[in-house]
Chains A and B, each alone.
Chain A
Amino acid sequence: MQNKTVISDIEREFVDLYKENRSMFEAKTSDPVNKIRRSGVRDFERLGIPGKKDEDYKYTLLQPLFQEKYRKYLEPRKVEFDLANVFQCDIPTLDAHLILLVNGFFDKKNGNSLNELPSGIIIGSLASASYKYPGLFEKHYGKYASHKDGLVALNSAFAQDGIFLYVPEGAVYKKPIQIVNLVMAKEDIMVQHRNLIIVEKNAETGVIICDHAMTPNKFLTNSVTEIYTAENSSFDYVKVQNEHNNAIQFSHIFVNQEANSNMTSNIMTLHGGVVRNNVNVLLNGEGAENNSYGLYLVDREQHVDNYTYVDHAKPNCISNQLYKGVLDDSASGAFNGRILVRKNSQNTHAYQANNNILLTDDAKIYTKPQLEIYADDVKCSHGATVGQLDEEALFYMRARGIPEKEARLIMMFAFAHEVIGNVKAEALLKRIDDLVEKRLKGELSPCDNCAMKCY
């Protein structure tokens, strides 16, 4: 990424805002976080918001998205709501441990800022944890999220809270941990939270993150999640993005996997104005396996951009990527997937596929697979397809009496299910299936889960 010599007004505004509030920020979090914060603002000042010439952001124009006059709350706002009345998750009765993040701040309404689950798992506020576990933060915080991207640097500078999850050595917790991430305000706001997930040796657990915008305001979320999986650990990450057309989301995930660890991510974009998901994976130990899945179902003017980068830094690792999308109306999307196999990473298996269905002539998808291989004993493949629903299959179903509309729905659902089917927790899989089916039928509005019904 190029250095910028001139920064725009909006970028200057961020830097000034940071400088004015620096002492407040630094009081919120402990030293290891503040160290990264200081380098974050320096890097942001140098890099700015990625521009048109940035190859990695070629298909999503960022600058105009930051022009809105978002309020940037530097203190948690008091949001009055009764969880039980306002929010019913679309994944109801899921037997999960529920954690709430409101406008980027951990909500301790129903408990302490840090909670201990069975098996010694700790979950709660990132800010609180940074004081309580400075050693862990020293070791992990900011070590995986690279400031090569100005947006990540910006998050480092402004991050005040988010989710901290620590899974100690040998802990196995099968019940999913559900993190509900709400944005709700009476004005347009920007949210920049930061999550840190540490899964120690031989541990095994999973999270599901549900993103919802609860009021019709404009929201911009720029979040960073760092995930460390130690030797022989296993971690499942499921994210369901179901916001609305006024919501913009940049989600940066950085994964560091040690030897023989297994990590699966499954990112499902059901609704959002502009969504950009960055998944960066470093396979940093032999025998590590990473599976990255993505599904995007978009219509109207929505835009979804998925970027993946898998770095095979060690030999004998496996990576597998499958991203699929259905784009309707004038929706647009991009998939940019890069696999790097380093010189000594022999016996690498790396696969990538991106399949798209365009339902109209106006829907657009840009897909760009990239393989860079420097080792000579590898198995790699990548492929991208863009097409329409198979007319022959549609006729076959109609010839059996299935109405055309239903036949189309069945086929889209089958297409999407190839991604959903990789969700490991069966109860969750079933519910996401239901959610996706509702979405494809047009029965799922982003406000379904909210009693406010502001539209």
Chain B
Amino acid sequence: MKSMLNIKNLSASIEGKEILKGITLEVNEGEVHAIMGPNGSGKSTLASLVAGKEFADVTGGSITYLGKNLFDLNPEERAKAGIFLGFQYPIEIPGVTMVNFLKTALNEHRKHKGLEPLSAKDFLKLLREKKDLVEIDSKLTNRSVNAGFSGGEKKKNEIFQMAMLEPKLAILDETDSGLDIDALKIVANGVNKLKRKDNATIVITHYQRLLDYIVPDYVHVLFDGRIVKSGGKELALELEKKGYEWIKNQVNGN
């Protein structure tokens, strides 16, 4: 199996406070990884660093993506290389329509691959196909990006964008938070439909619930900036049953 993402001994701090304390994680093509952990354990920091957000200082270690040093690429280059971050809190961009936003993004991806921009007709066709896939309200694509969307619509919109851009590596940062069970199923369903042998998904979540629908190959528990436990999908169930206190106690040697 081809290695896709290789994080080695990654440390990072924000304003002098150490958030990640030596993370090592390898993700191969075709795999689904779940990263679980309590609030403040460093999950979102890890996701943002892979996507290229410059808010944490990397103090050590490396991230390699498809053989390339990820720190050499800016966020847009990472996106075009196939990395997709599903935001925990999708950003509202008033005045920029979803259609314009997606068309610009998609054509940048195509340009990167040496393809011509899509014709208006083909673009709309693709838009319709993908809309059906994630069961997103048609009207939303004519509105400004995320502006006035409900919490559930925003999350569905992330999966919709993922469907449009067809990434190689998708990192979904707490995509389940704030979703009711129906929306959760739709989101999970979308992710499962987009799964292929040559792509990979990292699902970051607080709760086990999402993993009933997106079944992971590996589960990692992140605690205080370290991956303290890794295992198969049963680890998520165990965690759900015993709670994060169990992990805390193990780490603290109680």
Contacts and interface: CB of A to CB of B under 8 A. Distances in A.
Interface of A: 390, 392-393, 395-404, 406, 410-411, 413-415, 417-418
B76 A414 contact: no
Which 4 A-B residue pairs are closest in the complex by CB-CB distance? Answer: A414-B95, A401-B79, A398-B75, A400-B105
Contacts of B79: 398-401
Interface in B91-110: 91-96, 100-101, 104-105, 108-109
Contacts, number: 73
B6 interface: no
A417 B51 contact: no
Nearest to B96: A414
Contacts of B76: 398-399, 401-404
B126 to A, nearest CB: 15
Interface in B29-85: 51-53, 74-76, 78-80, 84-85
A185 B165 CA distance: 55
B104 A406 contact: yes
B105 A396 contact: no
B161 interface: yes
A405 to B, nearest CB: 10
Nearest to B162: A400
Among A393, A402, A410, the most chain B Cβ lie within 10 Å of the Cβ of A402
B74 A402 contact: no
B229 interface: no
Contacts of A401: 76, 79-80, 105, 108-109, 112, 165
A410 B96 contact: yes
Contacts of B91: 390, 392-393, 395-396
Given A401-B79, A411-B93, A414-B95, A395 B108 contact: no
A417 B105 contact: no
A390 B94 CA distance: 11
Contacts of A390: 91, 93
Nearest to B89: A392
B87 interface: yes
Among A396, A400, A404, the most chain B Cβ lie within 10 Å of the Cβ of A400
A425 B92 CA distance: 29
Interface of B: 51-53, 74-76, 78-80, 84-85, 87, 90-96, 100-101, 104-105, 108-109, 112, 144-145, 161, 165
Contact of B53 (A395, A406, A413): A395
Contacts of A402: 76, 101, 104-105, 108
Given A393-B93, A400-B161, A418-B95, 19 more contacts: A396-B93, A397-B101, A397-B105, A398-B76, A399-B75, A399-B76, A399-B79, A399-B85, A400-B79, A400-B105, A401-B105, A402-B108, A404-B74, A404-B76, A406-B104, A406-B108, A410-B96, A410-B101, A415-B95
A453 B186 CA distance: 59
Contacts of B74: 398, 404
25 contacts: A390-B91, A390-B93, A393-B91, A393-B92, A398-B75, A399-B51, A399-B53, A399-B75, A399-B79, A399-B84, A399-B85, A400-B105, A401-B105, A401-B109, A402-B104, A402-B105, A403-B108, A410-B100, A410-B104, A411-B95, A411-B96, A414-B94, A414-B96, A414-B144, A415-B95
Among A393, A397, A418, the most chain B Cβ lie within 10 Å of the Cβ of A397
B240 to A, nearest CB: 31
A403 B112 CA distance: 11
Nearest to B92: A393
Contacts of A400: 79, 101, 105, 161, 165
A321 B39 CA distance: 45
Nearest to A410: B96
B148 to A, nearest CB: 15
Contacts of B93: 390, 393, 396-397, 411, 414
Contacts of B105: 397, 400-402
Nearest to B90: A396
A417 B95 contact: yes
Contacts of B51: 399
Given A403-B76, A404-B74, A398 B95 contact: no
Contacts of B90: 396
A325 to B, nearest CB: 15
Contacts of B78: 399
Among B84, B93, B165, the most chain A Cβ lie within 10 Å of the Cβ of B93
A392 B145 CA distance: 13
Nearest to A404: B76
Among A399, A404, A418, the most chain B Cβ lie within 10 Å of the Cβ of A399
Contacts of A415: 95
Contacts of B95: 411, 413-415, 417-418
A427 B227 CA distance: 59
